[in-house]
Amino acid sequence: MKQIASVMYVKEGCHAEYKHRHDQIWPEMKQLLKGYGVSDYHIYLNEHTSELFSILTIEDETLHAEIAQQPICRQWWDHMADIMYVNDDNSPKSIELTEVFFLE
């Protein structure tokens, strides 16, 4: 098991819509994530900077990388593209973070 933390960005004025869409996340998207070994997925919003901090646990890095190739994931990205900063393929612009401390 491995944890991945990253920062993404929601467009200003879209905070409530971002939360609403995740409150209504498609069952197929949840199933996809779980089926590809994702668990304990949290997303936090810094309302002052519009930064989204995400942390999730994955079973396998190779399996996790395959999520981006699945049609339902691509559809989700398209669904979210109007309220987030995204790459050319509509994947969220994201910066993976480096762990510097862990308290056991």
Catalytic center residues: 22
Please state the separation of Cα 96 from the chain's center in Å.
11
What count of other Cβ atoms lies within 10 Å of the Cβ of residue 92? Answer: 19
CA distances from 22 to 15, 26, 29, 35 (A): 11, 8, 10, 18
